[in-house]
Structures are given as structure tokens and as C-alpha cells.
Chain A
Amino acid sequence: MFDWLTPDIAAELARGAVLTIALAVITAITATAAGIAVGAARMSSRSGLRRLAAAYIEVFRNVPALIQIIFWAFAVPNLLSPDTRRTLLFDNAVMDVARDLTGIPIPYYGLAGALALTLNTSAYAAELFRAGAGSIPQSQLDAIRTLGASPFVALRTLIIPAGLRVAFPALSTRLIHNMKNTSLVSFVAVPELFHELQASIQSTFRATEFLMLGAVIYLILTAGMGAGLAFIERLLNRNRMVGSVLPT
């Protein structure tokens, strides 16, 4: 019944799944970090910084992830001359190491895909973080200010922990969406799970079987990621500091 799933193909799919998980986890971390930074900038008292952050959010949120991926991977290298492009982005020692390490034939494309996903998801994360921080009671902001905290200290001790905690459920939804969006980097020749599924179909002509298997694997991955994020959410809520308890 499973004769179509040869050991070779299973190994390829497993490698693809590992790459999908790695991409999802790495971009979740980079997008959350960038989202907090941009979200904080969006709330800055400097109007220039505020406007820059607003533009970042609007642009990277309103352009489809797929367009952003193709743009960074395929379009941007064309801005360089052929020689510079080759030595800077494709044929150099760093890329060779990355190729051996990740198994991505053209590591630059993997990097470009990760960048695009980070930009896209961080724009959403920034808005969610801002909304989360917006629910911090004014009394707490006044209190930390009265204690003489600098804006940086206020961010580190109150605004980021409390804002992230409130934003976390919505952020989880977005990060799971981001996990599904990693399938789009298959367009730029990154051998993640969806790419490997397509390759398996092309080599065996067993479309139905591999598509169903793919659906099951993705359902497991999204459920797993959901469970992982729920665990982190519990951790965030357990370790909350007395000083930043929000009214529930």
C-alpha cells in the first residue's frame, strides 16, 4: 500500500520537513524580534522614527509574501553586475559552508526567502506588539516614569514583557501562518517540504498519495507549532513580574 514511499523519497521528505521546521522557527524568532523593535519605534516620541516604522509596517504587510520572496531572491541580484553578483551572493566560501550545512543548493535563495518571511511577519508582529503594549495601564507607565526609569529601561522591564504577553495569542496565530508561508520559498528553489513533495510527484507520478501525505505532515507541523507556542505562552504568564501584572 505504501510502495510509493520508497526509503529514498522518505529520506528526502524528512530532510524537507526538517528544513521547513528550521525555517519556521528561525523566521519566527527573527520576525518577533524585528516586530518588537519596529513596534517600539512606532510608539516612539520621535515623529521621524514613528513614520518610518509606520511605512515599514504598511509596505511589508500589504505586499504578498510570495512577491517579497521572489523580489529578494530573483530580482535583487540583478541590480549587481554579473561578476559582483556571482562572487558576493553565490560563489564564495561563506555560501559553500552554508550549502554544506543546510543542504540548500543555492544558499542565497534560502537567505532571501528567510529575509522576506521575516519582513512580512515582523510587520504583523509590530502591530500586534503595539496593540499589546497599548493595553498597559497608564498608571503603570506613570509609575515607572516616576521611579526615574529611562525609556530603554521602561521598554525592557515593562513595555516589552507586558506587551508581548498580551500580544502573544494573536502573535501565535501569525507565526503559525508564517510556518505555512515557508512553503512559498519552494518557488525560489529552496528544498523545503513542499518543494520535496513536488519533486516526489514528478519522479513517481503518484500525485494523490504525496499530496495527502503532505497535508498530514503539515497538519502535524502546524499542530506541533501551536502546542509549542501555547507552552511558551504559559511560561510567559507564569513568570510574570508583580510590578507588571495587568488587570484581567
Chain B
Amino acid sequence: MSDQLDFIVRNLPNLLFGFPGQRPGGLVLTLVLAIVGLGLGFVLALPIGTARAARSSLLRRAAQLYIWVFRGVPLILLLLIVHNIFSTGRIGLETSSFQSALITLVLYSSAYQAGVVASGLRAVPEALVEDARVMGASPLEAWKTVRFPYALRVMRPGFTNQAITLFKDTSVVVVLGVADLTTTARIALGSDIDNAPFWVATYLTVGAIYFVVAALIARIGQRRFGAEREGKVGLVGRLDMTSVR
């Protein structure tokens, strides 16, 4: 038992920050991947989500196709495809595994966030925008002061969910060997048969780290935005089984 504890204590700094000389890695790198993926993904999701909710059917279709493709392929396969395109120099770029992983996560999360953006924009009551126009706002002003802020409020719970989902999904970058939390755990255990007794403790620790951060994101989302997680959004009323009895 003390062996196990010793192994975990010895590797905890590696799991959190990466191996010495290869920092940042571990949880820090996982967070970098998730934050950049979510942030740039949002920037990309704005035009795509707007197109998805646009009047022009051509724009709508194009956005729909983008979303369909990036949501229809497993992330693990998407990572290999992007790495295959961007790292080989065929489009004038030779990205590292880390850069390929970042590009993939941005594209992947933008497709999910575009859905959130589109449904947020569609939830804005048209009368509200028309009122702004009647008050003399230009179309751009109406968009900036009424439509977008209103939509953003509707989108918030969706973004919290996307943040949690993307944070967990970054674990898949292990397929490219990017030294995130999951990869660090695999390297720490290695193929050494002597490490076999430490597998359970190590993966419990890794699971606990992911759990704590994901729960923290959910808590922050709830506090900041009053958001509840997936499924509860938009549904009212609560079942009280005691009243069924």
C-alpha cells in the first residue's frame, strides 16, 4: 500500500505539470488544449453559427455541412486526419503533434459551439429586434445591442457544457503522443511489468484529477451563469416521487 502511495506521490508533479525538462505537460497541457480549443473554437463558431441561423438557405446548408462533418467523425480519427494533412508539408505547413492537436480541437469544438450559437440566435424574439429598429437603430446596431447580447445569454449553459466536454475529450490526443495528462500517465506506467500493481492507483488518480477539474468548471458555470447542465436546460417542473406515493 505504501508502495502505491509512494508511486503516486513521486509521479504527481509529472501528472500535473509534465515530466521535468518537458514542461508544460500533464494537466497544465490538458488545460492549455482545452482553453485554446474552446476560445478559438468560439471565434470560429460565431460566423458558422450565424450562417447556420441565417436567412439564406445556401449559407444555412454550408454551415450545416460543416457541423455535420466535424460532429460525425470520431475525434480520434479527426486528430489523425488533421495531423496527416498539416504535418506532412502538403499545404506548406509542418505542424508538430501538439499544433495538429490544437487545430483539431479548435475545428471539433467549433462545430459543437456553432450549434449552440445558432440555437442562441434563433431564440431571440424577432419583436425585440424590430423594436430596436423602430427606435432608430441600424441593422448593425440592433445586432450589437439587442440580438447578440440576448443570444449570448441563452448560449451560456451550452458553453459550460462544451467546456466540460472538450476538457474531457482532450484525453484523446494521446493518439498523437501529445504529453497531456492521459499520455503522462501512460508514460509513467510504461510497459514495465513491475509497474503493474500501480495501474489501478494511477488511473484512479488521473480519473480524480479529471473529475475535480470538470466538476469545478460545472460549479463555476453554475455560479456565473446560473446554468444547469445538459438536459435540464429549458425544462421546467420537477418530479417529486414522494408525491407519487
Contact surface of A with B, Cβ cutoff 8 Å: 43-45, 58-59, 62-68, 70-71, 74-76, 78-79, 124, 127-128, 130-138, 141-142, 144-145, 149, 151, 154, 159, 163, 166-167, 170, 180-181, 183-184, 186-187, 194, 197, 207-208, 211-212, 214-215, 218-219, 222-223
Quote the shortest CB–CB distance from B238 to chain A (angstroms): 5
Tell me if B72 and A222 are in contact (CB < 8 A): yes
Quote the shortest CB–CB distance from B93 to chain A (angstroms): 15
Q: Is B232 an interface residue (CB 8 A)?
A: yes
Tell me if A151 and B241 are in contact (CB < 8 A): yes
Quote the shortest CB–CB distance from B105 to chain A (angstroms): 14
Main secondary structure of the interface of B (DSSP, over half): helix
Provide the residues of chain A in CB contact with B81, threshold 8 Å: 211-212, 215
Tell me if B210 and A218 are in contact (CB < 8 A): no
Q: Which of B10-18, B48-56, B194-202 makes up part of the contact surface?
A: B194-202
Q: What 10 pairs between A and B have smallest CB-CB spacing?
A: A75-B199, A62-B214, A183-B74, A131-B231, A180-B74, A64-B168, A64-B171, A128-B231, A222-B72, A63-B207
Provide the residues of chain A in CB contact with B238, threshold 8 Å: 134
Provide the residues of chain A in CB contact with B241, threshold 8 Å: 43-45, 151
Chain B, interface residues (CB within 8 Å), range: 35 or more
Tell me if A134 and B239 are in contact (CB < 8 A): yes
Quote the shortest CB–CB distance from A131 to chain B (angstroms): 4
Provide the residues of chain B in CB contact with A58, threshold 8 Å: 211, 215
Provide the residues of chain B in CB contact with A124, threshold 8 Å: 230-231
Provide the residues of chain B in CB contact with A219, threshold 8 Å: 68-69, 72-73
Provide the residues of chain B in CB contact with A215, threshold 8 Å: 69, 73, 77-78, 81
Q: Is B225 an interface residue (CB 8 A)?
A: no
Quote the shortest CB–CB distance from B216 to chain A (angstroms): 10
Provide the residues of chain B in CB contact with A222, threshold 8 Å: 71-73
Q: Mark B86-103, 1 if CB is under 8 A from A, else 0.
A: 000000000000000000
Q: Is B244 an interface residue (CB 8 A)?
A: yes
Q: Is B145 an interface residue (CB 8 A)?
A: no
Tell me if B182 and A67 are in contact (CB < 8 A): yes
A62-B215, A63-B207 known; A194 vs B76 contact (CB < 8 Å): yes
CA–CA, A134 to B202, complex, Å? Answer: 38
Provide the residues of chain B in CB contact with A170, threshold 8 Å: 230-231
Q: How many A-B residue pairs have CB under 8 A?
A: 151
Q: Which among B211, B241, B242 has the greatest number of chain A C-beta atoms within 10 A?
A: B241
Tell me if B74 and A218 are in contact (CB < 8 A): yes
Closest Cβ neighbor of B90 among chain A residues: A208
Q: Is B174 an interface residue (CB 8 A)?
A: yes
Q: Which of B196-245 contact A (CB under 8 A)?
A: 196-197, 199-200, 202-204, 206-207, 210-211, 214-215, 218, 229-232, 235-245
Tell me if B231 and A71 are in contact (CB < 8 A): no
Q: Is B80 an interface residue (CB 8 A)?
A: yes
Provide the residues of chain B in CB contact with A197, threshold 8 Å: 77
Q: Is B31 an interface residue (CB 8 A)?
A: no
CA–CA, A59 to B204, complex, Å? Answer: 11
Q: Indicate which residue in B68, B71, B172, B235 contacts A66 across the interface (CB closer than 8 Å).
A: B172
Tell me if A75 and B203 are in contact (CB < 8 A): yes
CA–CA, A137 to B240, complex, Å? Answer: 11
CA–CA, A108 to B100, complex, Å? Answer: 33
Provide the residues of chain A in CB contact with B168, threshold 8 Å: 62-65
Provide the residues of chain A in CB contact with B171, threshold 8 Å: 64, 66-67
Tell me if B203 and A78 are in contact (CB < 8 A): no
Q: Is B35 an interface residue (CB 8 A)?
A: no
CA–CA, A97 to B73, complex, Å? Answer: 32
Q: Is B84 an interface residue (CB 8 A)?
A: yes
CA–CA, A128 to B235, complex, Å? Answer: 10
Tell me if B232 and A223 are in contact (CB < 8 A): no
Excluding A180-B74, A219-B72, 13 further A-B contacts by CB distance (< 8 Å) are A45-B241, A62-B218, A66-B171, A66-B174, A74-B199, A127-B230, A131-B232, A138-B243, A145-B243, A151-B244, A183-B74, A212-B81, A222-B72
CA–CA, A166 to B218, complex, Å? Answer: 24
Report 16 cross-chain contacts, Cβ distance below 8 Å, ordered by A residue. Answer: A63-B211, A66-B171, A66-B172, A66-B174, A67-B207, A71-B200, A128-B230, A134-B238, A135-B236, A154-B244, A184-B74, A186-B76, A194-B74, A208-B84, A211-B77, A215-B73
A128-B230, A138-B237, A214-B77 known; A78 vs B182 contact (CB < 8 Å): no
CA–CA, A45 to B244, complex, Å? Answer: 9
Q: Indicate which residue in B75, B207, B214, B239 contacts A136 across the interface (CB closer than 8 Å).
A: B239
Tell me if A131 and B235 are in contact (CB < 8 A): yes
